[in-house]
Chain A
C-alpha cells in the first residue's frame, strides 16, 4: 500500500521549511533585541557600581578648646560658629609634616571633601564633650582621591595627563599603608541632594521631586482621564463630534512631550503665574502629556467589557450612570489602572517638558512640598551627564539605574494589578 498521506501534498516540505525559517528569523530578532538590552543595561550597571560606595580618609583631629570654645562655656552658638575647617587643615598638616609651600598645602587640603568641616561641626553639636579631646575620624575623600581608589584614574599615565599629581599619589599611598583609607557603602547618595562636589552629590532631591511631580500628575490625570473615557465610551452620542474628539486624542498622544512643556511655560507659568521649577507645574505638564494615554487605554478597557453586562444592568432597571459606575467601570478599572501606570512610567522618564518649565535648576535642598523648587530623576541624569568631573560619570549611571528601577517597579505593579483584578466573563 502506498503512503497516501505523504503522496497527496507535493509542496509540503517547502511549506514546512518556510515555517521553520520564519521561526528562526523570529528567534534571531528576539535574541538580537534582548542582546542589545542586556549590553546597554549591563554597561550602565557596571559603570554605576562605583557610585554606591565611597572612599573615606581617617584623620586624627585635635578639638582644640582654645580655638573652638575660648570662653569655656560650651555655648552651642559659639560652637556652631567655630572654625572647624582649620581643625581639618591642622590634622592634615600633622599627618603630612613634609608638605611645605602654599600650593602643595592647597592640594593637601583638597584630599578630603569640603564637607569635612561640617562633619566635625555636627559631631561637636551632638556631643560638646568632644571639645578638648583628640580622636580619629573618617572623612569623605575628595572625588579625585575617590576615583583613584576605585581605579578609575590610571596612575601609570604621565603626570600631566591625569587629574592627580605625583605628590598627591604619594600622600594617598601613605594613608593607604597606614590603613587610613577605607571604602564604605555610599548611603549619602540616597539621603542627600545634589551638590557641586561629586563625592557629596545624592539623588534624594531628584527622587522626591519626581515622586511629587508624579503624585500631582496622577491626581490630575487619572480622575480626569477615566471620567473623559467613561463619558466618551458610555454616554457621548456617536457622530462627527465624537470622531473629531477621538482623532484629536489619538493625535495628542503622539505629540512630542516638549510641546507640552512649551504649553506649560506659556500658559501655566506666564499666564497664570504659577511658581517656576515646582513639582506642581511639572506634574500638571506631565498630566497633560499622560492624559491622552490614559484616555485611550481606559476607552479600550471599557470597550472590552462585554455589552451583555450593560444589558443585564439596564434590564433590571439601572440607569445609564448606575450601569456605568456599578458594573462597567469596576470591570474596566484594572485596565484603566494599567494604562495610567504605563502613562505615568512614561511621564517619570520624560525630561523635555520639565526643562521648559525650569525643573532643570540646580537644587540642593530636598523639596518638602509641591510648591518648592525641585528637579526630577531624568533631569538629574541630564545635569550630571553634563558635568565635567570624572566622578559624575558613575553618578549618572547610578541615577539611571535608580530611574530604571522605578520604571521596572511601576511596570511590575501594572502587571500585578492586572493579574490580580482581571476577571473573565
Chain B
C-alpha cells in the first residue's frame, strides 16, 4: 500500500472517530524524520481533554516518537526534524514564538524508567515548583509538595522521610514520585512513555489506579506495550504501525470491533 493511499485511509479514520468535545491537542499531518529516515507519516490525531488516550503498536512503530513531539522533547535530538502542525489549546507548539520551556511546564512527562533526581524526595517534587516560580514561600512550597505527593498516592509511604534520597525508594514508588514531580507544576497534559514497563504487576496496578484518578484533572497520553493496560486505563486508543496511524477511536471500539485488519492482527497477537 502506498503512503498516499494510507494517508487517505487515515483521514477517513479520523473523520469517523472524531470526539464530540473540542480536542485539547490536535495533530495535523505530522511527519518526523531522523536524518533521512522518516519515522512518522502524516499523523492526524485529536486528543480530547481530561481523558486518557493510549498509543499502542509494535516496537519501532513511532508511538514514542509521536509522544515526544508533544512536548518537543525531540528537539534534543540534533538530526530529528518535525513537519506539520501540533496545536495544544489552539496554539501551534512548533510556532517560532513558542517558548519550549514554557511548553514543557504545561506538558509534563513521565518516562519509561523511573528517573528521580539523585536528591531528596522533597527536592524532587519541589524542583519544578521552584524553577517555574509557582510558589512564593517555604510554607507554600511544602504544601504544594505534599499535595502533589498526595495526588500521586505516595504521601503515606514517604511522609516521615521526605529528606531521604528519591533513589532509595522502590521502583514503583520512584515512578509515582516521578508522577508527583510531573503533576506538582500543574501541567495541562501529562505524557507517559510506558510508565509501567520496568515495574512488577502490583506496582503496575497502583500506577494504573493513579492514572485513572488523575484523569479528573489532567489530559493523559500514555504509550504502552500492554494492550490490557490500554484497555484498562484509556478512553481513546490509537494504533500505530510502521510510522502510520492505522486506527484511532474509543478504546472499546478498537478492542472489540477494529475496522482495520492490521489492528485486529495486532490486538489478537498475530503481529507485533
**Residues of A that sit less than 8 Å from B by CB:** 237-238, 306, 308-319, 322, 326-327, 331, 423-425
The CA of A310 and the CA of B113, in the complex, are separated in Å by: 13
Cross-chain contact of B182 among A308, A315, A322, A327 (Cβ < 8 A): A315
Q: Is the CB of B185 within 8 A of A316?
A: yes
Known: A314-B73, A316-B127. A238 touches B108 (CB 8 A): no
- What 0/1 readout, one digit per residue, does chain B (96-131) give for beta carbons within 8 Å of chain A? 000001101100110101011110000000011001
**Do A317 and B104 touch (CB < 8 A)?**
yes
Q: Contact partner of B76 among A312, A314, A317, CB < 8 A?
A: A314
Query: Assuming the A-B contacts A308-B113, A425-B118, are A318 and B101 also in contact, with contact meaning beta carbons closer than 8 angstroms in the complex?
Result: yes
- Point out the residues of chain B lying under 8 angstroms from A327, CB to CB: 117
Contact pattern, B 162-202, Cβ under 8 Å of A = 1, otherwise 0: 00000100000000001001101100000000000000000
Kindly state whether residue B36 has any CB partner on chain A within 8 Å: no
Report if B78 contacts A (CB, 8 A): yes
Given contact pairs A313-B117, A318-B127, A327-B117, enumerate 20 new A-B contacts (beta carbons under 8 Å).
Answer: A306-B115, A308-B113, A308-B115, A309-B115, A309-B117, A311-B115, A312-B117, A312-B181, A314-B73, A315-B111, A315-B182, A316-B104, A316-B105, A316-B132, A316-B184, A317-B128, A317-B132, A318-B101, A425-B118, A425-B167
List of 7 A-B pairs having minimum Cβ-Cβ separation, nearest first: A317-B105, A316-B128, A308-B115, A315-B109, A312-B115, A317-B104, A319-B101
Inside 8 A of A313's CB, which chain B residues have their CB? 117, 127
Contact B185 A317 (CB under 8 A): yes
What is the chain B residue whose CB lies nearest that of A322?
A: B131
Interchain CA distance A160-B215 in the complex, whole Å = 103
A319 contacts which chain B residues (CB < 8 A)?
101
Complex-state Cα separation, A310 to B77, whole angstroms: 13
Which residues of A have CB within 8 Å of B78?
A: 237-238
20 examples of A-B residue contacts, CB within 8 angstroms: A308-B113, A308-B115, A311-B109, A311-B115, A312-B115, A312-B178, A314-B104, A315-B73, A315-B108, A315-B182, A316-B105, A316-B108, A316-B127, A316-B128, A316-B181, A316-B182, A316-B184, A317-B132, A318-B128, A326-B131
Q: Residues of B contacting A308 with CB < 8 Å?
A: 111, 113, 115
Does B234 touch A at the CB level, under 8 Å? no
| Contacting residues, chain A, for B115 (C-beta < 8 A) | 306, 308-309, 311-312
In the complex, whether B236 has a CB less than 8 A from a CB of chain A is no
B167 to chain A, nearest CB (A): 8
Chain B residue with Cβ nearest A331:
B118
Instruction: Write the nearest CB–CB distance from B119 to chain A, whole angstroms.
Output: 9
In the bound complex, what is the Cα–Cα distance between A327 and B117 (angstroms)?
8
Is B31 an interface residue when CB atoms closer than 8 A count as contact?
A: no
The answer to whether B182 and A317 have CB atoms under 8 Å apart is no
Expressed in whole angstroms, the Cα–Cα distance for A319 and B99 within the complex equals: 10
Which of A312, A313, A331 is packed against the most chain B CB atoms within 10 Å? A312
In chain B, what residue has the closest Cβ to A318? B131
Tell me the smallest distance from the CB of A7 to a CB of chain B, in Å. 43
Contacts of A424 in B (CB 8 A): 167
Question: How far is B104's CA from A314's CA once the two chains are assembled, in angstroms?
Answer: 7
Give the shortest distance, in Å, between A378 (CB) and chain B (any CB).
Answer: 40
The answer, yes or no, to whether B71 is at the interface (CB within 8 Å) is yes
B111 surroundings in chain A (CB, below 8 A): 308, 311-312, 315
> How far does the Cβ of A19 sit from chain B's closest Cβ, in whole Å?
37
Q: Tell me the smallest distance from the CB of B238 to a CB of chain A, in Å.
A: 21
A312 to B127, CA, bound (A): 11
User: Given the complex, which residues of A lie within 8 Å of B104, measured CB to CB?
Assistant: 314-317
Bound CA span A132–B256, Å: 119
Of the residues B108, B127, B167, contact of A326 by C-beta under 8 Å:
B127
Q: Which residues of B contact A326 (CB under 8 A)?
A: 127, 131
Nearest residue, chain B, Cβ from A315: B109
State A286–B76 Cα separation when bound (angstroms): 36
Q: Are A317 and B101 in contact (CB under 8 A)?
A: yes
* Bound CA–CA A237/B77 (angstroms): 10
Which residues from chain A contact B73 at a C-beta distance below 8 Å?
Answer: 311, 314-315
The residues of A that contact B185 with a CB separation of less than 8 Å are 316-317
Residues of B within 8 A of A318 (CB): 101, 127-128, 131
Which residues of chain B are within 8 angstroms of A322 by Cβ–Cβ distance?
A: 131
Contact residues in A for B71 (Cβ distance below 8 Å): 315
In the complex, chain A residues whose CB is within 8 Å of the CB of B116: 312
Q: Which residues of B contact A423 (CB under 8 A)?
A: 118
The residue in chain B whose Cβ has the minimal distance to the Cβ of A317 is B105
Instruction: Report whether B117 and A317 are in contact in the complex, using a CB–CB cutoff of 8 Å.
Output: no
Question: A237 — which chain B residues lie within 8 A by C-beta?
Answer: 78
